[in-house]
Chain A
Amino acid sequence: MSEIPRMLIVLTLICAACALLLSGVRSMTADQIERQILVNVQGPAVEGVLEGSENDLIADRRDVRVDDRELTVFVGKRGGDPWAIAYQTSGVGFGGDVEVIAGFDVTSDEITGLRVVMHKETPGIGSKVTEEQFTKQFDGRAIEGQHAIEPDGGDIESVTGATYSSRAAAEGLQKAAALYDEVKQQVLTP
């Protein structure tokens, strides 16, 4: 066999075998990877805002369609009945999107909590919006209301020097609150 076709054939065969192997491994691990990301990235935040639930929050998640958008909703149950829901939204911060998970009590229509799950804010300044000092302000607020930070005329104290980041977190919550009625209705009707 002459050299150039042989080179091409061998390389193509190797690439094809590798691609086949990889797609196999990929399909075997895909579900597990999705689960790991849920458990490790969103898991702690979801458990935080749905504290006191008795069910496996990750396993009992549901996909809901709201405004033509897929939304993963985590449902917290007590005594077998849903008492709270949580889902992820985002606001635009200083360094990029600030992703938050907001939890809502469906029995009292109150906010159970807010956690920042992903952000690219300045370490030491904007990143302070992830701290309890800031996020605990949202606990127990009625969902009705504007949830704006002080510079925007609201009553949520923003982190000093990090107005953008604080506004982004509040924006995430406002978006979540706007979807609340729709999501609640879909989750509670079986």
Chain B
Amino acid sequence: MEILILVITALLIKNILLLQYLGNCPFLGVSKRMDTAVGMGLAVVFVMTLATAITWLVQKYALDPLGIGYLQTLAFILVIASLVQFVEMFLRKAMPALYQALGIFLPLITTNCAVFGVAVLAIRNEYNFVESVIFAIASSAGFALALVLMAGIRERLEAADVPAPLRGTAIGLITAGLMALAFLGFLGVDNSLKALTQS
């Protein structure tokens, strides 16, 4: 039950993209076409899950015992950057087909604040290892979901008659705002779920 709440919260109620303001640069950059959106979404699920698992271990078994928690930012970004490099090399050698599909998105992920943000959030929320991994999977799935939904809308927008100054990123942002508004509706689900378990 706890896990279910965790998943629904990370996936819908606190969607990292639309309600937690994380990962917006690739969101606007790659949501113009459906196929790139799907590719980016999958790449993020993959990297975010791995990154959160590794940074969690780094925090608990390296930073905490040494009492250098203040180096968290530095350590995490290095772990994520090298992880991305490593994944890229590994995929190119071992799974060329997957590399073809995801390869070009990987470098973009290093500066994707969603990956870094979720890794830090997992520590700040004091999740244990299993919870952290589930949190990362659900969060990244939420990211992919929002990205794909957005790409669907933006493909339609191509054909719409948008006022000239708003074309491009501006209308993309406004669309994202309306989607975020829709996702706010899931807040009610959260309250009733929690009330259900607490009583």
Contacts and interface: CB of A to CB of B under 8 A. Distances in A.
B70 A18 contact: no
A126 interface: yes
Interface string B157-199: 0000000000000000000000000000000000100110011
B199 A161 contact: yes
Give the size range of A's interface with the partner: 10 to 19
A122 interface: yes
Interface string B19-56: 00000000000000000000000000000000000000
B198 A22 contact: no
Interface in B109-146: 126
A161 B74 CA distance: 43
A134 interface: no
A125 B195 contact: yes
B87 to A, nearest CB: 20
Tell me whether chain B's interface is mostly helix, strand or loop, or mixed: helix
B71 interface: yes
- Chain B, interface size category, equals under 10
Contacts of A83: none
Contacts of A44: none
Nearest to B125: A120
B69 to A, nearest CB: 10
B198 A164 contact: yes
A126 B195 CA distance: 10
Nearest to A165: B198
A162 B70 CA distance: 36
Contacts of B194: 122, 125
B68 to A, nearest CB: 8
A125 B70 contact: no
Interface in B80-111: none
A124 B198 CA distance: 12
Contact of A125 (B71, B74, B126, B198): B198
B198 A122 contact: yes
A19 to B, nearest CB: 8
Interface of B: 70-71, 74, 126, 191, 194-195, 198-199
The 3 closest A-B pairs by CB, nearest first: A122-B194, A26-B70, A125-B198
